[in-house]
Each structure stands twice: as C-alpha cells, then as structure tokens.
Amino acid sequence: MWPYKTFRTVLLLSPIVFSISLALDVYMPVIPEMIDVLKTSKSMIQLTLSAFFLVTGFGQLILGPLSDQYGRYTVLLISAILFTLASLLCALSHTVEELIFYRFIQGIGSCGQSVTAFAIVRDSFHGRTSAVIYSFLNAGVSFSPIAGPIIGIFLASIFPWNAIFFFLSFLGLVNIILIILFYKESLPLKKRRCFDKHVFSRYYSVVFNLRFWSYTIPAVAGMSTFFTVFSVTPYIMQALNEPRSQIGIFFGLAGIAFLGGSIVSGYIIKKVGIFFTIIIGSISIFLSGFTIIVIYLFKGLSLWGFFIPSTLGTFGCALTAGSGASGAMEPFGDYPGVASAMFGALEIGGSAIIGSIGVSLCSSPMSVGVSSLVCSSIGLLLLKINGRS
C-alpha cells in the first residue's frame, strides 16, 4: 500500500510529472532553428512535438490497464528507464526522422509515468483530497514553462541543440534512482485486473458515461490551449523578429499563471467544490480565446496582445486539469487505471491533435483563440447538461 500522506505524495510524484512536462518546454526555444539544423520543414519539426504528445496521451490506453494488472511500481520503473534511454537516443539523432521516432519512444516512457502517477493518487486518495493533490501536481508542472525555456536557451547558447536531450536523460536517471529508493506499490494484489478483452468493456463504460465527458472536455480545452500557446509562440516571436531570449520571459508569464491557477485551484475546490471550480476554469479559457481573436482581428499581431489573454487561458487550464481529473475519475473506483488512462489519452492526446491541426493551418494567435473558444464552449455545454451529478 502507498504509505505516504498528502504532502509526501506531492513531493514524490512532482519530479515525475515535472520531467515529462519539461521534455516539451525545454525544447521550445530551438524549434525554429531546428528546421535549418536538420534540413527539414516546419511540419516535420512540429511532428517532433506532436508525436511525443500524442503517444503520451493515447499510449495510456494500453499502459493504464497494464498498471492495473502488474501494479504501478513495475510500470512506473520500466517507463522511467524507457524515457531516459529514448532521451539519450534523441540527443544522438542525425535526421529529423530519427528524432521523431525516438521522441515517439520517449512519449511511451512519459505516458507510462504519467498514468501511473495519477493512478497512485486515485488508488490512495478520494474526493476533494485527490483533487487538491492533482492541483498541487499541476503546480509542479507549471514550473516547467517557467524553467524549461530558460534552461533550453542557456543550453542552446553554449552547447549544440542535442545538449537539451542529454539534460533530459540526466533527469530521467534521477527519477529512476528516486523510484528505486522511495516509491512503494499503491495497488494491492486483490484489486488488480487482468489486461484482457474485458478491458474494452471497461473503456466502453467510461466512454459512455456523461459525467466523464462533462469533466474531461473542459480539461481538454485547457490543455489544448496550453499546447497550442507553446507550439505557436516560437513562430510568433520569429515573425515579430524578437530575440530568442524573450521566449523565456513570455513562457514564464504563462507558467506563472498556470502555477497561480494550480495553487488557487486547491483553495477554490475546498470552498466551492469540484463542479464550480471547473466552471470557473472553463469560463477563463473561453474569455481568453475570445480576447485573443478580437485583439488579433482589430489590432493585428502583437506580443502582449497574444500573451496577456493567453495567461488567462493557462490559468483556466490549471483549474480544469485538477478538478477535471478528479471529477471524471470519481465514478470508476473499481478500475481507476482504465479511467485514468482514458482521461489522460483524451486530455493530452486530444489536445495534441487539436493543437497540431491549429498550428499546421495557422501559426498565429488565431489557432489558439479558435481552439480555446470552441473547446471551452463544448465543455460548458456538457457541464450544463450533466449538472452537478
């Protein structure tokens, strides 16, 4: 059984979720120049982001049930090893095709760590306590867009681009050591479920649960806003001829907003509950998308006109992520790994699809504004239909 209380759980799981997020953010500052370094196109470089995010999301549909069968510890340790080795191979890549492939493998390691980390919370905590832990874990994630670009800029200014992936492999090694020394199994043998054909019936019961969708879609809205903002930012900076060093400042603003939302989320959940917390987050995302579109249409491309409303969207993302995970998985106490996997697949994989389509069609603030507006509207509608059940 998982022996740790709330604070120690957050302390132990934070390095895992932080390194996964950092694998995306530390890479952002060098994206535009990677087109020349690897002699490829913008769409191929975008695949190095999308492949990682997609498999991190949808890979959970397999790794979640595997953790239900073999336990959290085994899947977590193997995933951490895979993440570390893939990061090292990314650093040794010579072509964009190799980089995409190894990012795909890195994503498998990431999703295994992600699904088990959140399943550990679901195994050991319930209700508002689990929502508070999810929110604090998101607060740990929010340090990544603050620290990631700064680390990436620092490494890229001194070393070749692949130093970023050597750095990630080092973090992966640290996580492996932490897992071996301190992590305990949270899923008792009597609660384990075999990975067989019945898994699909469990997915069926999750997918056709209205409450699940009511809490998942707002989380997808938030995460797609987050992903699209960070995907579009390097190209906006390039279009405005802003120096690369400025990326860290503006990513930091978005990260601070996410951090603030994660911290405030725990307080709001305790005061008004999960349902109203996710409503507040969804409205924040809606207002963010609406404001981005209005400013872009009437004032044109502007750094502050993009980032100020984007911070409202990342703030809303923090509110919907924690409360969405808790609300979506609450009805599925008998198979939390399956529910966690489905939620993670849709939140991360779905946002990767939405963000990638948006960036490929338009590398401008419009891709962020439209996706935020549409997804948050659907989420609010589902919450209205489902009510507080």
What was the pLDDT predicted at 287?
96
* Cα 215 from Cα 167, distance rounded (Å): 35
Chain centre to alpha carbon of residue 263: 17
Q: Which of 30-44, 224-238, 373-387 has the highest mean pLDDT?
A: 373-387
Contact 189, 69 (CB under 8 A): no
Terminal-residue alpha carbon distance, the chain:
30
Contact 261, 323 (CB under 8 A): no
What the block records as the tokens of 285 is 């995302």
Contact 252, 259 (CB under 8 A): no
What the block records as the tokens of 182 is 């301190």
> What is the b/e burial string over 186-219, where b = at least 16 CB atoms within 10 angstroms of the residue's CB?
bbeeeeebebeeebeebbeebeebebbbbbbbbb
* Cα 272 from Cα 335, distance rounded (Å): 27
Q: Which of 386, 202, 371, 180 is nearest to 289 (CA)?
A: 371
Rg (CA), the chain: 19
Domain 6-189+196-386 falls under CATH 1.20.1250.20: yes
Any residues with CB less than 8 A from the CB of 357 and at least 6 apart, and which?
Answer: none
- pLDDT digit string (tens) for 85-139? 999 999 999 899 999 999 999 999 988 888 888 888 878 887 777 777 877 776 6
What the block records as the tokens of 201 is 């019936």
Q: Whole-model pTM?
A: 0.77
Contact 322, 222 (CB under 8 A): no
Contact 108, 79 (CB under 8 A): yes
Which one-letter amino acid corresponds to residue 63?
A: L
What was the pLDDT predicted at 108?
92
Contact 56, 20 (CB under 8 A): yes
- pLDDT digit string (tens) for 214-253? 889 999 888 888 878 877 877 777 777 777 666 667 777 7
* Cα 387 from Cα 389, distance rounded (Å): 6
pLDDT surpassing 60 at residue 389: no
